[in-house]
């Protein structure tokens, strides 16, 4: 083999060694973005599905009233015998503002209770949020340090949980409620919870 072809072969090998890691990186990045784009973040599984709601009692948001009466906080005992939608929200969360019309729509369905967990928020900001948009909730618990949200397995706000009459978490929606996922995923999960047999007495 001539020196020229040997040098050419060595150069090709070097180029391959330089380019190969780059190609592998590009392939992995493409796969990651494909999965990210094609995956539905609202379908992130929760370890709590099928388990009882965390035994978390939360105080009410200070000064939050409805019909002239203080709005209660969140009590774990209230989940029994009701189908409940638990919405984790905050006044500083932009998508939380966007999903308010969907929550208002859900609040009209008297078969379910809507309960809020106000996540890492200031009470006056939470009151302003409710004052601006109206209150779809029958109760709102204050979670100023985010500890309750951790117990509920919250990734970020907003998130919404469907809790069956047996007090177990039946479904979890990650991200804001939209017209699309309300029809395609959330309402079917609610209807399924409503159709389930009532919880048996202990």
| Residues 130 and 59 placed together within one structural domain of the fold | yes
The two tokens of residue 70 are: 């203080």
Distance of alpha carbon 86 from alpha carbon 192, whole angstroms: 16
pLDDT of residue 53 exceeding 80, the answer is: yes
The pLDDT score that the predictor gives to residue 35 is 41
pLDDT of residue 184 exceeding 80, the answer is: yes
| Residues 95 and 25 placed together within one structural domain of the fold | no
Answer whether residue 12 is part of any domain.
yes
Domain range spanning residue 12? 3-39
**pLDDT tens profile 101-140:** 999 999 999 999 999 999 999 999 999 999 999 999 999 9
CATH number of the CATH domain containing 57: 3.40.30.10
Mean pLDDT of all residues in 51-63 = 94
Answer whether residue 115 is part of any domain.
yes
The pLDDT score that the predictor gives to residue 39 is 44
* Phi, psi at 160, each rounded to 5°: -135, 135
| Residues 21 and 47 placed together within one structural domain of the fold | no
Among the ranges given (3-17, 57-71, 152-166), the one the predictor scored with the smallest mean pLDDT: 3-17
Answer whether residue 172 is part of any domain.
yes
Per residue in 47-63, is it b (16+ CB within 10 Å) or e — as a string? ebeeeebeebebebbee
**pLDDT tens profile 10-49:** 656 666 566 666 655 665 555 444 444 434 444 445 578 9
| Residues 80 and 117 placed together within one structural domain of the fold | yes
Distance of alpha carbon 83 from alpha carbon 81, whole angstroms: 7
Burial class (CB in 10 A: 0-12, 13-18, 19+), 133: middle
| CA distances from residue 95 to 90, 98, 100, 154, 181 in whole angstroms, order as listed | 9, 5, 9, 15, 14
| Residues 122 and 177 placed together within one structural domain of the fold | yes
- Mapped onto helix, strand or coil, the DSSP state of residue 6 is helix
| Residues 24 and 90 placed together within one structural domain of the fold | no
Give percent of the chain above pLDDT 70: 75
pLDDT of residue 174 exceeding 70, the answer is: yes
Give me the residue label for tokens 């973040």: 41
The pLDDT score that the predictor gives to residue 13 is 66
| Residues 13 and 95 placed together within one structural domain of the fold | no
| Residues 174 and 189 placed together within one structural domain of the fold | yes
| Residues 16 and 63 placed together within one structural domain of the fold | no
The pLDDT score that the predictor gives to residue 67 is 87
Answer whether residue 200 is part of any domain.
no
Number of structural domains (the chain) is 2
| Residues 20 and 72 placed together within one structural domain of the fold | no
The pLDDT score that the predictor gives to residue 98 is 96
Average pLDDT, the chain: 85
């Amino acid at each position: 083999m001539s020196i020229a072809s040997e040098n050419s072969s060595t150069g090709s090998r070097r180029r391959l060694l330089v380019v190969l890691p780059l190609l592998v990186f590009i392939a992995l990045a493409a796969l990651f973005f494909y999965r990210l784009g094609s995956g539905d973040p609202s379908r992130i599984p929760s370890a709590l599905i099928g388990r009882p709601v965390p035994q978390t009692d939360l105080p009410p948001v200070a000064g939050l009233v409805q019909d002239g009466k203080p709005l209660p906080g969140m009590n774990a005992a209230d989940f029994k015998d009701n189908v409940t939608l638990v919405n984790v929200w905050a006044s500083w969360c932009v998508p939380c503002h966007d999903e308010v019309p969907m929550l208002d729509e859900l609040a009209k369905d008297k078969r379910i209770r809507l309960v809020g967990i106000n996540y890492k928020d200031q009470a006056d900001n939470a009151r302003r949020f409710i004052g601006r948009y109206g209150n779809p909730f029958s109760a709102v618990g204050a979670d100023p340090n985010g500890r309750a949200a951790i117990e509920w397995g919250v990734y970020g706000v907003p998130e919404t949980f469907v809790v069956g009459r047996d007090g177990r978490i039946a479904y979890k929606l990650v991200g804001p409620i939209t017209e699309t996922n309300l029809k395609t995923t959330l309402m079917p999960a609610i209807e399924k919870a409503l159709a389930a047999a009532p919880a048996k007495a202990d």
